[in-house]
Amino acid sequence: MVALAWPIGEGFVTQTVGWWGEYVALGPQVWKTPVYCMLIGWLSSTHIFYVGRRTLEFGFEMKWAVANTALTALLLGILGENLFVWAGMWRYHESTSDWFSVPAFVPVAYAAGYSVLPLLRNWRLASTTLVWATTLLLASIGLGLATGFFPR
């Protein structure tokens, strides 16, 4: 579901407020999103979901599961997005507040979007995906607008 939601979300952002940057590496694409990006998003999302689920299974309260999920998404966003840029696969447009080579709002939006996953642990897959994707989309656009990165 994440692999499906990712290009839809990026396509929607592109059509409404502008593009984040440009993909540099070659490869097949789905609605302007390379397949390698979808696979990386899927892998990261799986790990973030796992962390939130295991935090609850270890007996921590929901607030700690939400916080741990958000922190994992934030750190993976900072590390992963920067590795993406440093590997020459992706280039962001300039921003006024970067964490290394990535606009700071991007990993923060990941943290906000993914933090809902523990709250949705008993929901069906389609409903969970819809709520997660909508939250991530709104956080990305909202923070991008608030920081002046969008519109482009």
Q: What is the DSSP string of 83-103?
A: HHHHTTSEEEPP-SSEETTEE
Is residue 25 a contact partner of residue 90, using CB atoms and an 8 Å limit?
yes
Between the ranges 26-40, 59-73, 85-99, where is the mean pLDDT highest? 59-73
Of residues 146 and 6, which shows the higher confidence score? 146
Residue 3: pLDDT band (50, 70, 90) is: low
What's the CA angle centered on 44, arms 47 and 137, to 5 degrees? 115
CA 66-52-62 angle, to 5 degrees, is: 40
List the structure tokens of 77. Answer: 């966003």
- The one-letter amino acid code at 62 reads M
Inter-CA distances, 60 with 53, 57, 120, 123, 136, Å: 10, 7, 16, 20, 24
Q: Is the dihedral of CA 124, 128, 130, 131 positive or negative?
A: positive
Domain edges within the chain: 2-8+33-146
Q: Which run of H or of E encompasses 23?
A: strand 21-23
Q: State the average pLDDT for the chain.
A: 91
pLDDT of residue 6: 76
Specify the residue for token string 């990261």: 44
Q: What is the pLDDT of residue 16?
A: 87
CA distance readout (Å), 152 to 82, 94, 105, 123, 145: 21, 11, 15, 36, 10
